[in-house]
Amino acid sequence: MHNENEEHWSDHAICRGADPDLFFPIGYSAPVLQAQEDAAKAICANCPVIADCLSWALRVGEPDGIWGGTTPEERRYLRRTADAPARRPLPVIVVRGDASEPEHASAA
């Protein structure tokens, strides 16, 4: 449980004094939106708690804004790849009549 006197990672975030609109970009054109995202990510890049911020945003499923230096789309990608089961090689399946099978090639 969180004690009111206990420090929280967000107490050390360098974005605390920044304009919140910067981290929740609303652009009417792609270049404006990209410029806002880039400005927010530049602040995140120098933040001592970027990993904690990103971890929190992924854990709670934050759908909006720049958190931990990531956009909502980037976080969705991270969640999908983290939740994906480990990939194993599939067994090789030989189909009858496959031209690569030597026995079928000699029977032809």
Binding residues for [4Fe-4S] cluster: 15, 44, 47, 53
Tokens of residue 85, six digits: 């089961």
Report the binding-site residues: 15, 44, 47, 53
Contacts of range 11-20, beta carbons closer than 8 Å, 24 or more positions apart: 12/48, 12/49, 13/47, 13/49, 13/53, 14/43, 14/46, 14/47, 14/48, 15/40, 15/43, 15/44, 15/47, 18/43
